[in-house]
Amino acid sequence: MASQTTLSVKTLLGLLNPQGIYLVGYSWLFGMTLWVTFIGGVIAFKSLPRQQFGALQHRTFPIYFSISIALSGGLLGLWAYSHPAVLSHYLEPQLADVAQAYTLATVFVSQVANQTVIGPLTSKTMFQRHRQEKEEGKAYNEPGVSDQMKALNSRFGMLHGVSSLFNMSAFLALVFHGLWIGNVGAGIKSF
């Protein structure tokens, strides 16, 4: 029979350790990415008029990307600290610890690209398209829109696609990392 642990202030404070913090940070990042990618965005898209949906995404995504960058950067730092092979064998992705660092780096780089380059360009193009709709008196997808609107549509579609690809890459990397730490453990060392 397993021994029973009695809760006390000491045992509760003992939960605040690098391993516990790592798992909470990973859980937060995975849950947030899952929600934004597959649930919250879909609900908002189906519930709001298109321009309000765009305005909401314009306000939400920078916060989402900032939190993702901070969490994935923190996880990567803790992972590299706890797995010395990452720094000494960084060019050997076939090593499991190094592969997991690459996985976390994929999340970090994807979200940095979305926050600093792709997101702002997508928002700029979206707002240009909104202005063009007002000038033309037509929605972006109506027949007979101008060549300028067609160019904005093409640019928006390409940027949105790249942003979605980066976000999906981050999500899949987090799934892989979660499966790894669920089966092997995180192995995060105390300071």
Helices (H), 114-146: 119-136
Q: Is the pLDDT of residue 3 over 90?
A: no
Percent pLDDT > 90 in the chain is: 95
Please give the single-letter amino acid code of residue 37: T
At 95 the pLDDT is: 98
pLDDT for position 191:
85
Topology (CATH) of 17-84+92-183? Methane Monooxygenase Hydroxylase; Chain G, domain 1 (1.20.58)
Q: Which amino acid is at 87?
A: L
Q: How many CB atoms lie within 10 A of CB 129?
A: 20
Domain boundaries, given as residue ranges, for the chain = 17-84+92-183
Distances from the Cα of 70 to the Cα of 43, 45, 50, 86, 144, angstroms:
26, 27, 30, 20, 45
Dist. CA 57–CA 45, nearest whole Å: 10
Amino acid at 79: W
Return the closest-CA partner of residue 174 out of 23, 29, 67, 18. Answer: 29
Q: How confident is the model at residue 8 (pLDDT cuts 50, 70, 90)?
A: very high
In whole angstroms, give the CA distance from residue 70 to residue 57.
20
Dihedral sign of CA atoms 41, 45, 50, 53 in order: negative
Q: Is the model more confident about 48 or about 2?
A: 48
- The lowest-confidence range among 1-15, 48-62, 110-124, 173-187 is 1-15
What integer pLDDT is reported at residue 94 of this predicted model? 97
| Amino acid 67: pLDDT | 98
Mind listing the pLDDT tens digit for each residue in 32-87?
999 999 999 999 999 999 999 999 999 999 999 999 999 999 999 999 999 999 99
**pLDDT one-digit tens code per residue, 93-148:** 999 999 999 999 999 999 999 999 999 999 999 999 999 999 999 999 999 999 99
| Whole-number Å distance between alpha carbons of 58 and 36 | 13
Q: Which residues of 45-57 are buried (b: 16+ CB within 10 A; e: fewer)?
A: eeeeeeeeebbbb
